[in-house]
């Protein structure tokens, strides 16, 4: 098993858990398998197998080819491990995470927040004013929320991801 394939198997476990890694290792060993074969091999529901396979595909860890079943006319998907370099996959995840964190940081900076002291539901200023500064869950009077710690945490996470270099 090549180092790249080992890294992909480890990455699948970090993102999706032990079952995903087991499926990756099965596909590495077998080369290619259908969702039904995966489900049968691991004694899991075919829908669970499909969900895991699709999750791995969305993260670019798997590829598939499809062929039409001549008997019923439906497509059969044959899944296999991607040939893509894990560094490329990790870089794409890093960029996506940065984008999400930057959007959240902008949201936190551009809004004033209030919180219910009882149920801890968070409201923007607009939501709070629409509800006369009362919680819609329990009716408690809302209190201003200091989100400076959230902002600092987001800024730190962004800084670390921006500085990350897998080649160092």
Tens of pLDDT, residue by residue over 41-98, are 999 999 999 999 999 999 999 999 999 988 888 999 999 999 888 888 888 889 999 9
User: Got the DSSP string for 43-107?
Assistant: T--HHHHHHHHHHHHHTTSEEEEEEE-TTT--EEEEEEE--S-HHHHHHHHHHHHHHHHHHHHHH
Tens of pLDDT, residue by residue over 111-133, are 999 999 999 999 999 999 999 99
pLDDT computed for residue 27 by the predictor: 96
CATH of domain 3-84: 1.10.10.10
Asked whether residue 99 carries a pLDDT value surpassing 90, the answer given is yes
This prediction's pTM: 0.71
pLDDT tier, 151 (very low <50, low <70, confident <90, very high otherwise): very high
Domain ranges of the chain: 3-84, 87-163
Tally of residues, the chain: 168
CB 28 within 8 A of CB 9: yes
Asked whether residue 166 carries a pLDDT value surpassing 70, the answer given is no
pLDDT computed for residue 165 by the predictor: 72
């Amino acid at each position: 098993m090549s180092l790249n394939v080992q890294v992909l198997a480890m990455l699948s476990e970090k993102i999706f858990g032990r079952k995903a890694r087991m499926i990756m290792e099965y596909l590495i060993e077998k080369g290619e398998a259908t969702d039904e074969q995966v489900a049968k091999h691991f004694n899991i529901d075919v829908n669970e197998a499909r969900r895991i396979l699709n999750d791995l595909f969305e993260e670019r860890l798997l590829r598939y080819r499809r062929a039409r079943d001549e008997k019923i006319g439906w497509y059969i998907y044959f899944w296999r491990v991607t040939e893509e370099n894990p560094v490329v996959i990790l870089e794409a995840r890093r960029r996506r995470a940065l984008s999400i964190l930057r959007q959240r940081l902008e949201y936190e900076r551009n809004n004033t927040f209030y919180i219910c002291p009882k149920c801890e539901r968070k409201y923007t200023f607009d939501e709070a004013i629409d509800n006369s500064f009362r919680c819609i869950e329990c009716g408690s009077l809302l209190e201003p929320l200091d989100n400076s710690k959230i902002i600092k945490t987001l800024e730190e996470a962004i800084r670390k991801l921006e500085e990350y270099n897998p080649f160092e």
